[in-house]
Structures are given as structure tokens and as C-alpha cells.
Structure 1
Amino acid sequence: MRGQQADHEDGCKSSRPCSSSPGRRRSMHENKNDAPTSKVFYRPLEASIRWAGLLRYEQAILASVSSPMNLPQSLDCPRLGELRLYTDRIYDGILNGELPFGQHGITTRDTALIESPDLTVRHVDLKCWMRQHYPEQRPGFLFSRSERITHPFISLETGQAMLVERQALKSVLEQTKRQLRELQDKHDALLKQPTVIPACAQSPISDRAEATYLNIVGGLLELMLGQSPSGTPYSSFKTQEAVVSALVAHHSGAMGIAERTLNGKFATARRRLRSASR
């Protein structure tokens, strides 16, 4: 079994593509990169490059780094800080016995290999180590798309904050529902009120306003029943009764348009106009 694993690992490490099915080759390689995205084992710097999402810069980075444990201060690639952090994390896991390591994909735990360029960590060990020590991390070269979607990491602090926010939102929702019910009750009450405001609820008309209205009505009535200086009638109405009859005939359904009411108002208006003209 060990020999088969070594043969498979040597084949994945070589520059030639693996002689597996096309579907497997596509899943093990990035779109147009010759370098495999996922491998059976990695050198620490190869793993941190993938972790930081810098696979397209892999050849340039590997050519510029002489000691993976001590990255240069500057490199021709973005996110150098992340690359340095992830490299340090991997070596920290190795040095503290958390991450199994070996040579060419064979686990040996030989501490003499720690500074060797042949130091490697297996894909399965790296994935287990990251799941345990950095559960919030789900880099694509270790975890499938379904694993990244269906198993999102939520820390204890984040979970508590989400619960507090949920309770606050529930309180706001209940308050909004109460306000909505109150507004609905007020709306229903308004709909039940009569559309015409009773006369008793209206503001009383002032004496000055009443005198103004009566003068206007009296003036119009006198004009309709009068004639010009040459004797030409201003209208076809000869008497007040004729005006009242016409109003009742055309507007009998309107409030105040009744024979008795009109005669009373017209008489009062004509008296008020005559007294005002004296």
C-alpha cells in the first residue's frame, strides 16, 4: 500500500499530467494553469500559496524564495502578508506536533526535515488540521464547493451576536405589529363615521358672516326681480314666488331647497338689504 501511495504521489508531483480520467484531471487542475490546484501532498509553501489564493504566482514565488521558513520582505505578488501568515501557521502546526509531516508525501516525523526543502504534508492531514485549528477557513484546494457551502463556520461570539440581533429584531417586529393594529383600528373607526358632518358639529356662523350672506342673497333677488332705468326687466322672473318655484323644480333634493325655507330666507335677506341701504 505504501509503495502504491508513493508511486501515485510521485506521479502527481511530476510535471506530466496524471493518466486519470478527464473529469478527474479537470477537478485536480485550475482552469488554465498547468500547476495542480489540489495534490496528494504539498511542501509548506505550496500549501500556503494555495491557501492565500496565489496559485497563478506559484512559479514566481517558488523561484524567489530560498527558505520557506523565512520569506523575503518583498515579493512580486499581492497579499504577501496573508502568504506569510499562512506559511507561519503551517510551520507552527508542524513544530507543535499538530500537523503530521514527512518527505515526498511519506509521513516520518523526522525533525531533521523541518528545514529541508523536501519537507511535505499530506493533503488529508492538512485538511484535518485546518478543520480542527482553523475551522473558519475553507480554502478551495482542500474543501469542495459543497463543503464550503453546507458547513459554514460560526464562532461562539458570532452565534451569540446573531442571537442578540434576532431578539432585537423580534422586539421591533412585535412593536411594529402593535402599531399596525392600532392604525388599523383607527382606520376602521373612521370608516364607520358618517361622511356628512352633522349641522350641530359645525362651527356656528358669525353675525358678520350671516349679514354678508343675507346681503348678497337679497341683492341678487332684487336684481332678478328688478328692471333697468329704461324699464327692461333684468330677468324673466316677475315675483319671488316664481324664483322659489324654479329653485325647487331644479334643486329639490339639495339641503335647504324647500319652499318654506326659501321664502323665509329670501324675506329675511330683502329686509336686511333694505335696512343696510338706509
Structure 2
Amino acid sequence: MANPWESDNCDEIRAYYSAYYIPQAAALWCGVPVEVLKQILSQATETSRNIYAHPKISCLEPRCRAIHDAIDNNKLACGRDGKSPVFDSEDHVAPERRTVSRQDLKEWIVKEFPSNKPEFLFDEVERKTHSAINAESFRALQVDRDALQRQLQSAKESIKMMELQKYEVAAKLKQYEERLKCLDNAINPRSEKTYLNIIGALLEVVTGTFKGETFTSETQLRDFIEEKFDDLRGVRSRTTARIFAAAKRALNDDMA
């Protein structure tokens, strides 16, 4: 298994100190891939000294001119055949022998053409970043964005949970409203009279006139009340069966 340092071809480092002849730099700026660079330039025509035009690459000639013009006006340093850049404008370098370093060319393009970032000079982050924002600031913004996205996801989950709780509460509220409505209907004057009559009859059976009577079932008790208190409202066996059942449910609910 190869060690990491044995497989690293240092492309980024090599590119940092690379130098290009003017037609090469112009063609790469136009987006010509490195592997076909020689072929493309061999098909180009020299329109003036070291300025080339290509029938299918319209930007080649103007970019050759722009680079030469920047060198002539001391806006872009050039070297001679790839050697160290010459900064003294009086030190003449023949146009054919002019070369520009990758870094100098990159800085010049950033300054003069901030919206134009060719792939051979700028990485993906730099191409997607506004000229006023450097790569470090862009990455910091990405970190902030990721944190905000996580917060947004958490907020969405919280909202979903609250909505579920809201539905549960609404269902409970509806249930309570229905129970309250039943209670309102149950405690009207007529119903109240029925309840009081049944309670009164039970008291008579348990502690009053009929004390000592025994019953083997609830049915016998209801029938007895209906027989002895037939003149009272609500003491019919069917009514007392319903009310007894409701009373048992209420008692069980409270004892649960």
C-alpha cells in the first residue's frame, strides 16, 4: 500500500508557480483544456506580433491583446521564457518570449475582471464566491448556513410536535365540551326533579318507611321503587336503569 506522500502529485503547488506564454494564458482563459492546448494554438493564426486568433474561439485574440496591453502599461508583470517576472518597464521582453506567472495573472484578472474567474486559475469555492468575499469568508458563511439549516430543521420538528399536541388538546376539548353539554342537558329543572325523586325513593328504602326490605338484584330494587313510588316523576324502571348505570360510570371514573 502506497504512502500518502508517494501519491500526492502536488498539482496545486505546481500550478502556483506555473508560468504561461501569452497565447497559452489567453487560450486557457478562454476555457481551452490543457490536454488540447497545443493543438488549438497550432490551428490559430497570428494576426499581429504574438497575438493569435482562432476561427472557433472568438475570445482568444482579444484576451491576447488584453494581457499584452496590461504588460505594456505595467499592470501585469511578465517574465522571460518562464523566468522571474521583470518589473522594470525599461527592461524589454520580446512579445514572443513574454510569460506571466499564474499568481500574477490571477491577481490581475481579479482586479480587472472580477466577474470572470477561469477554472485553470480559480477553484470551485473561488468561482462561486463574490469578488468582495474571500474563500475563508465564504467557508465561514457556509458554516453559519449549515448551523441555520440545523436550527430550521429543529424548529420544523418542534412545530410538528406542537401541531400534534394542538390536535390532541382540541380533541380533548371537544370531548369535554360534549360532556359539559350532556351535563347541561342533564341538570335542567325536569331532570333535576327526576334525580331528586329517585334519591328520595332510595332514602326511603334504605333508612325510611321501607327500611329492612332486601333485594337480590338491582332489577328487583328498580321494580320495587316503581311500584311503591309510581306517583313520582322519573321512577319508572327504565329511567332508574339508565340513571343507575350513569351513576356507576361516574363513580368508577372518580375512583379510577
Is this a same-fold pair by TM over 0.5?
Answer: no
Q: State the TM bucket, normalised to the shorter chain.
A: 0.3 to 0.5
TM-score (norm 1): 0.40
